[in-house]
Structure 1
Amino acid sequence: MTTPRQPLAQAPFVAVAGLSARLLAQSATRAGLRVAALDLFGDRDTRAAAEVWCDIGGGGGALTIDRERLRHALERVARLPRFLGWIGGSGLEPLIAQLCGAPGLPRFIGNTAEASAAVREPRRFFALLDELHIPHPAVAFAPPATAQAGWLFKLADGCGGTHIKPLAALGAQSVPAQGYFQRIGRGRSLSALFIGAQGRAQLIGFAEQLTCALGELAFVHAGSIGPIDVPPQVAARVQSALDALCARTGLIGLNSCDFLLDGDALELLEINARPSSTMALYETASPDAWPHGLLQCHLDACRFDRLPSNRSAALAREPRWRAGQRVLFAPAPFTVSAKFSDACLRDRQCRDVPMPGTRVEAGQPVCTLLVRAASVDAVRRTLDAQRALVLQRIETCDEPDHARLPSLA
């Protein structure tokens, strides 16, 4: 645990936790809050946004959160001055039920354990969708007997696409309690970011999901592009579905909905009952709409049951820019040099900049690319160019234990 810097103001503290806390930490600073960041990486821009950083990684090279280290870190940051509570991001799905309201821990600012369970426990969630007449791909809770190639196996408490496998890859493994089977659907993979409060949902926008294959994982989350336009009738149907879900489950604060869109037909895949990484798209594309960051809207909804102003909603519907973010995965193992880290830190289109000396294994995230442009097509081109630039930087920035990496072409 690092030592807090001398405070510049007497603003309240908030803690943000997840596999990576950088996005939430930066959004919290826009809200004028002091930040304690709890994550695995301790990236340079995370530490720059936070006055306190705690390592909650499980160690051993695995990118997992250690429950006891997280609990211990929360107990310590709870003693910070004017502490409001903590907010969870990606990677905490298996732990939220144990940590919400646990004795000795600070207040969790987000969905209750019951609200999260209503949308994360697959038997409850898909039964609720059926009851509300919200379409979704076919699901099963035992391995389908036929047509295995058309089905996926998913873990409901997973994230980032690492919880999704082709059914054939399951083999003879027994089905965990949070496991289920889902027929592969058709259409574009999209998401909707929304804020729940007052028993309804306020849509922030829609984004296209980017995925890539890593080994046997075919649907690893690799980023997103947005806001994108969808037909008005589709937006209205998503709004109606989210309003119904908020009314029935009590979802509050920032959440996201993943769905497939095939023409005008949509199928809902899952609800992420936490702030989503796509919030960076909207803060980047519509800075005037969210001058204090979207995490401020999350706090307002969770603490005061308050939705964003009509002005913010109107500005968000007419974005000045389109934005895109893409996770750059290491094509080969390397150790981050000071030269590489410094170059990425100076690059305004790099986020999650690793500390010098960090060991990055093949297939692990190196950094996140965040760009904005006037159109979605321009965003794609800019992301491709930025990816090529950083890959070249990996090859040429004098890594301490590699004379030369293999070709990255």
Structure 2
Amino acid sequence: MCTNLLVIGASSRSFAESAYRAGMTVSAIDLFGDRDLVAVCQQSLRLARDEYPHGFLQAAAQLPPGPWVYGGGLENHPHLLDQLAAVRPLAGNTGRQTVLVRDPDRLAVLAKRAGFQFPATFRTPSGVPADGSYLLKPLASAGGLGVMAWRGGLTTAGRGDACWQQQMSGQVMSASLLLGPRQGELLGFCRQLIGHRWGSGIPFGFCGAVEQPLQLYADKVRDRFHRLAHLLADELGLRGLVGVDFILPRMGHGETPVVLEINPRPTASMELIDRRLGGSLAARHVAACGLRLAGPLTGQPAYPKSVVWAKLILMSQQPVMITAAKDSLLDASLAATRAADEGCWPLLADRPCWGSRIERRRPIMTVFAAAASPAVALSRLRSRAEIVRSVLHDEGYPRL
């Protein structure tokens, strides 16, 4: 029975909040230690950047016993996952499973069996066009970090940790799956907000997402994801929340999607679906991993199911100080923009502690918006992002 849960990752806030709504006693370790994470945790620890990721082992030993869940980036450290799983029950996928699912050759076979396309992918640059039509992608990466257009200039030496993958045109998307024994459920789709236009400072960097109603997509598209979900669950034994990054060709919603990679853990865009559903995806993840909850859902906000949510991770283009006065002004300014269909969900998250100094090109906080359509949700998100930036920055800020 799951009463205590430890959440670890670069950022732990969204999953910790979801677990808290499910009535779990939450502990967490991440790189930020934001106020809203601390608010839902019995105990929380902030890991220094130079201690990431191996500092998680020592930090976890200081927290109450119980199962644990990992978030983005840690799938790139399978030995660490297995070390921690040896001393705590893991509610998630093992190090071996992450290695299997992150192998491009294996993934290409699974994707094609489920009816998807998969980009041409090479393990060396030999014969790969150096005209920008291929991407150089680290095999151990998250959020688009380290991805670049391939224009030559590197040797094959020392690049066993990367692949060269054909760039595909279309909408960058993610699918959220819930996997269990004989279970493969498609929870939702999100359009990903990627790159410089959204202020990441990283060409292929993840900056946020906008949920897309499932009914907009042809049955054959959704059916492919159901087939992929069952393959991942039945053949690789994946469990719990799993993300699929894919490209939807611009020709239409009935076109064959292109699978890019599998994220074998809860992803950053899943909290948008969590808000729409109004329950706790953390509870469903833990249950799918074979752990039983100790009690009913608690602390569940009021919500309408007819909306879609959007989020944007604001990045700092100059150093920013977080003060109580700025926080109060942010709350007052955004309260005036709240729409009825957004219920009582927070419009800001990942809020730094007062007195924090956010350096250039670091995440400041996350902004949310909801509406009946993705277009209106995105418009509200842009407007709110400008309000937040105008409060936090003394000088003018480039418009999105």
Q: Please, what TM-score do these two structures have when normalized by structure 1? A: 0.83
Quote the Cα distance in structure 1 between the aligned partners of 2:396 and 2:126. 42
Q: How does 1:103-118 map to 2 (within 5 A)?
A: 105-118=87-100
Find out whether 1:27 has 2:18 as its counterpart.
yes
Q: Please, what TM-score do these two structures have when normalized by structure 2? A: 0.85
Any idea what the Cα deviations from partners look like across 1:96-117, whole Å, max 9, x if unmatched? Answer: 3333254863222101222221
Quote the residue 1:373 is aligned against. Answer: 371
Any idea what the Cα deviations from partners look like across 1:374-397, whole Å, max 9, x if unmatched? Answer: 1111101110110110010112xx
Quote the Cα distance in structure 2 between the aligned partners of 1:184 and 1:320. 35
1:152/1:184 contact within 8 Å kept: yes
Quote the residue 1:62 is aligned against. Answer: none
Quote the Cα distance in structure 2 between the aligned partners of 1:73 and 1:252. 25
Cα deviation for residue 349 of structure 1 reads 1.0
Cα deviation for residue 143 of structure 1 reads 0.9
User: What secondary structure does 1:331 align onto?
Assistant: coil
Q: 1:38 aligns with which of 23, 29, 37?
A: 29
Cα deviation for residue 280 of structure 1 reads 1.1
Find out whether 1:270 has 2:256 as its counterpart.
no
2:178/2:239 contact within 8 Å kept: yes
Q: How does 1:5-404 map to 2 (within 5 A)?
A: 12-59=3-50, 66-77=52-63, 80=64, 83-102=65-84, 105-130=87-112, 134-148=116-130, 149-168=132-151, 171-172=154-155, 174-213=157-196, 217-228=202-213, 229-262=216-249, 263=252, 264-287=255-278, 290=279, 293-304=280-291, 319-344=305-330, 348-395=346-393, 404=394
Q: Which moved more, 1:34-43 or 1:337-346?
A: 337-346
Quote the Cα distance in structure 2 between the aligned partners of 1:225 and 1:407. 23
Give me the identity figure in percent: 25
Quote the Cα distance in structure 2 between the aligned partners of 1:253 and 1:271. 13
Cα deviation for residue 344 of structure 1 reads 4.3
1:331/1:408 contact within 8 Å kept: no
Any idea what the Cα deviations from partners look like across 1:154-204, whole Å, max 9, x if unmatched? Answer: 112211111311113774584443311110012111111011111441111
Cα deviation for residue 68 of structure 1 reads 3.4
The 1:39/1:27 distance shift into structure 2, 3 A limit, reads same
Unaligned segments of structure 1, at least 5 residues: 1-10, 60-64, 307-315, 396-403
1:254/1:298 contact within 8 Å kept: yes
The 1:141/1:111 distance shift into structure 2, 3 A limit, reads same
Any idea what the Cα deviations from partners look like across 1:298-350, whole Å, max 9, x if unmatched? Answer: 000002599xxxxxxxxx9x942111011111122222233224444675311
Cα deviation for residue 266 of structure 1 reads 1.1
Quote the Cα distance in structure 1 between the aligned partners of 2:360 and 2:55. 26
Any idea what the Cα deviations from partners look like across 1:66-97, whole Å, max 9, x if unmatched? Answer: 233211111121xx2xx431100012122233
Cα deviation for residue 352 of structure 1 reads 0.4
1:43/1:355 contact within 8 Å kept: yes
Aligned length: 369
Unaligned segments of structure 2, at least 5 residues: 294-302, 335-345
Quote the Cα distance in structure 1 between the aligned partners of 2:372 and 2:201. 36
User: What secondary structure does 1:203 align onto?
Assistant: strand
Counterpart of 2:144, as a letter, is: G
The 1:72/1:14 distance shift into structure 2, 3 A limit, reads same
The 1:172/1:340 distance shift into structure 2, 3 A limit, reads farther
